[in-house]
Amino acid sequence: MKIKCDFCKTEYSLNKIPANPVCCAICGHTWMVKTSNKKNQFFVFVAALCALLSAIIFSIVVVVHYHAKSDNNSPLVANIVKTELAPDGNGINHFIVSGIIENKSDGIYGAPNLIIMTYDEKGNSVNAPETFNPPVTLLDAGARAGFVYTLRAPSMGVKKIVVKLEDFEK
Ligand SMILES: [Zn+2]
């Protein structure tokens, strides 16, 4: 460690902290070398170690959580990209739902039927779920396919539309 004379600022290198007072060879100033520096270094080290450990634990939690989440996810996902309103012959509006079904896995999957659920602003179901055929029968690894479906039920009262996959999500 390095110590400095408080009086003339001359620096000295020491292998260990002396138990007795030291005397400056230049100016003769005598003082007691405090051990606080070394203790502080130790505490800084412990604090850094704790921070590192908590960072590791945090990343483990994140990784485990992430894995758990992806295990729960199905290999296929369907998402709505766009909804439009279109009137039928009687002037009653129906939603036209456009979306994408995607295979997020490394394997080939048969595409399941898609189910459209409709909800009001409170999250209650508005119309009975409507099931329709997928745009393709098979999805290669990483493949996507677009779908467009016009709801049979009128759009009245519908505030939220959700698409689900018949075989993967209940
Ligand atoms: Zn000195």
* 83-94 pLDDT, tens digit each: 999 999 999 999
149 Cα to the center of ligand 1, angstroms: 89
3-state secondary structure string across the chain: CEEECCCCCCEEECCCCCCCCEECCCCCCEECCCCHHHHHHHHHHHHHHHHHHHHHHHHHHHHHHHHHHHHHCCCEEEEEEEEEEEECCCCCEEEEEEEEEEECCCCCEECCCEEEEEECCCCCECCCCEEECCCCCEECCCCEEEEEEECCCCCCCCCEEEEEECCCCC
CA 29 / ligand 1 centre spacing (Å): 5
> What is the Å distance from ligand 1's center to 169 Cα?
79
14-68 pLDDT, tens per residue? 888 888 888 888 898 998 887 655 566 777 788 888 888 877 776 666 655 555 4
Q: Using one digit for the tens of pLDDT, what is the confidence trace for 73-119?
A: 678 999 999 999 999 999 999 999 999 999 998 889 889 999 999 99
